[in-house]
């Protein structure tokens, strides 16, 4: 995965994917792309379209719902981190925990 934002978007779609109906055995369909009329971002729509690898029976409406959920989670992340500060692997939490006896 190229960026942390892409990973967050991927993680955001997992609960929505779990809520989608299971594919019908023996039924296969050609991969479809989501409708461009969607209000979701291009990244969210692209990631939602990749969900068809796991469930080819996903409808365009379900993909729009997944893309909307991904966008909402990205917006929540920007509310939590409005300055867009990127943490490095060596950054430590502000609070340290100790156990005293």
Q: Helical H runs in the chain?
A: 4-19, 42-50, 60-80
Cα–Cα distance list, 42 to 46, 47, 48 (Å): 6, 9, 10
Tens digits of residue pLDDT in 16-60: 555 556 555 655 555 565 444 558 889 899 999 999 999 999 999
Categorise residue 84: left if φ over 0, alpha if ψ from -120 to 50, beta otherwise.
left
Q: Is the dihedral of CA 40, 45, 47, 49 positive or negative?
A: positive
Average pLDDT of the chain, as a whole number: 77
Residue pLDDT, tens place only, 1-14:
467 766 676 777 66
């Amino acid at each position: 995965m190229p960026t942390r934002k892409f990973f967050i978007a991927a993680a955001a779609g997992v609960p929505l994917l779990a809520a989608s109906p299971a594919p019908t055995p023996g039924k296969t369909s050609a991969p479809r792309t989501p409708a461009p009329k969607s209000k979701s971002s291009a990244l969210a729509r692209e990631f939602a379209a990749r969900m068809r690898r796991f469930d080819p029976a996903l409808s365009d409406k379900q993909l729009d719902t997944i893309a909307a959920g991904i966008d909402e989670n990205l917006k929540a992340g920007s509310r939590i981190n409005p300055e867009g500060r990127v943490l490095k692997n060596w950054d430590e939490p502000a609070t340290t925990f100790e156990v005293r006896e």
